[in-house]
Amino acid sequence: MTKTILITGGAGFIGSHVVRRFVTTYPNYTIVNLDALTYAGNLENLRDVDTLPNYKFEKGDIADADFIEALFKKYTFDGVIHLAAESHVDRSITDPGAFVKTNVFGTMVLLNAAKNAWQTNFEGKRFYHVSTDEVYGSLGAEGLFLETTPYDPKSPYSASKASSDHFVRAYHNTYKLPVVISNCSNNYGPNHFPEKLIPLCINNITHNKPLPIYGKGENVRDWLYVIDHARAIDMIFHSGKNGDTYNIGGNNEWTNIALVKKLCEIMDSRLNRAQGESEKLITYVTDRAGHDLRYAIDSSKLMNELGWEPSVTFEEGIELTVDWYLQNQEWLARVVSGNYAHYYEKMYANR
């Protein structure tokens, strides 16, 4: 079956893996990647697939309603997979407005465009909103996030994603727009922008720079290999139930300090350093404001209903990730040149 699918944010970390999966797995689909190419967007992430005949790129802002309306006239989309977002919690603390503009307003603009373009016939259409487990707030030592867990976002980032999720459900309830939502735990893997913990530490270990651990390093995250998230998105897009929500997680909880020590151990062996050498770079810094203690996902709905399960263990995934960064030093060097140095200086100077 042929389909034309709009993927937003396809030049970013997760979006690039989703675009790659769709253009290579479904040669009959036309995949239109819409991305504003913010600091986090990088077309280099797609260099291996961007000459395929079923791939198209459009540069634009999801919050630009005229542009989005024109895009929905230029193409007849059968589906939207919406990943474009401002995604970094620390940036949301310094500039919440940018998160409201893209994550809340931009999502509403896309929903409106899909509703207007599809309103005569919703048959076979689907608006898939990719969201985060952070909308559920912060767990204590026990428990897991379920699809039924009440929303309790605590950072400007998670508040903006929660708001966008509510708009998606409101469009489903009010206008019967066919939607599906997934809420995923922390991703890791190739092409991750090095403002986030894992690539930041790999980059800093490589260059013998301090590894900034917020607070005591006791916060817990549930890490999932990005390619397994892209596999889940494929399954949910094709087989998820209209109007439903699916949680996606790695069943793989790590405290930040244990995770960074694990990275140090792998990097020591890859860089032929004595074991324990990179750990000396660990530096405890001022905690993030309002830092969520623990996220952990129960993915049993996705596993039981759609048969998804992660394809790689964390041990395999983290080694693949470290090796990817070591083999793609030029990608990393280009990404951290320019504005990144300015960002890093500003974000870490007073910690």
Which residues are known catalytic residues? 133-134, 157
Q: From CA 100, how far away is CA 15, in angstroms rounded?
A: 20
* Calpha distance 340→129 (Å, rounded): 28
Binding flag, residue 310, ligand NAD (CB under 6 A): no
Q: Which stretch binds ligand NAD (CB under 6 A): 9-17, 108-116, 321-329, 339-347?
A: 9-17
Tokens 């810094």, residue located: 285
Q: Cα separation of 4 and 72, whole Å?
A: 11
Q: Which two tokens stand for residue 137?
A: 């707030």
Q: Is 186 in the site for ligand TYD (CB under 6 A)?
A: yes
Distance CA 288, CA 156 (A): 13
CB 55 within 8 A of CB 43: no
Single out the segment in contact with ligand TYD by CB under 6 A; choices: 112-120, 213-221, 233-241, 299-307.
213-221
Question: Nearer to ligand NAD by C-beta: 37 or 271?
Answer: 37
CB atoms within 10 A of CB 39: 15
DSSP state at residue 10 = T
Q: Which does 213 bind (CB under 5 to 8 A by kind): ligand TYD, ligand NAD, none?
A: ligand TYD
Q: Among the candidate windows 47-55, 56-64, 265-273, 320-328, which touches ligand NAD by CB under 6 A?
A: 56-64
Chosen residue from 5, 89, 202, 318 binding ligand TYD by CB under 6 A: 89
Identify the residue among 103, 160, 245, 256 touching ligand TYD (CB under 6 A). 256
Question: What is the number of residues in the chain?
Answer: 351
Binding mask 121-140 vs ligand NAD (x if CB under 6 A, - otherwise)? Answer: ---------x-x--------
Residue 200 in contact with ligand TYD, rule: CB under 6 A: yes
Query: Under a CB-based contact definition with an 8 Å cutoff, are residues 328 and 206 in contact?
Result: no
**For ligand NAD, which residue has the nearest CB?**
12
Residue 72, H or E segment: helix 65-74
Instruction: Please tell me whether residue 100 binds ligand NAD under the rule CB under 6 A.
Output: no
For residues 16 and 186, which CB has a smaller minimum distance to ligand TYD in the complex?
186
How many Cα atoms within 13 Å fall on the side-chain side of residue 134? 25
Q: Residue for token digits 């190739």?
A: 190
> According to the binding rule CB under 6 A, does residue 317 interact with ligand NAD?
no
232 binds ligand TYD (CB under 6 A): no
Min dist CB 286 to ligand TYD, Å, is 10
To the nearest whole angstrom, how small is the minimum distance from the Cβ of residue 131 to ligand NAD? 6
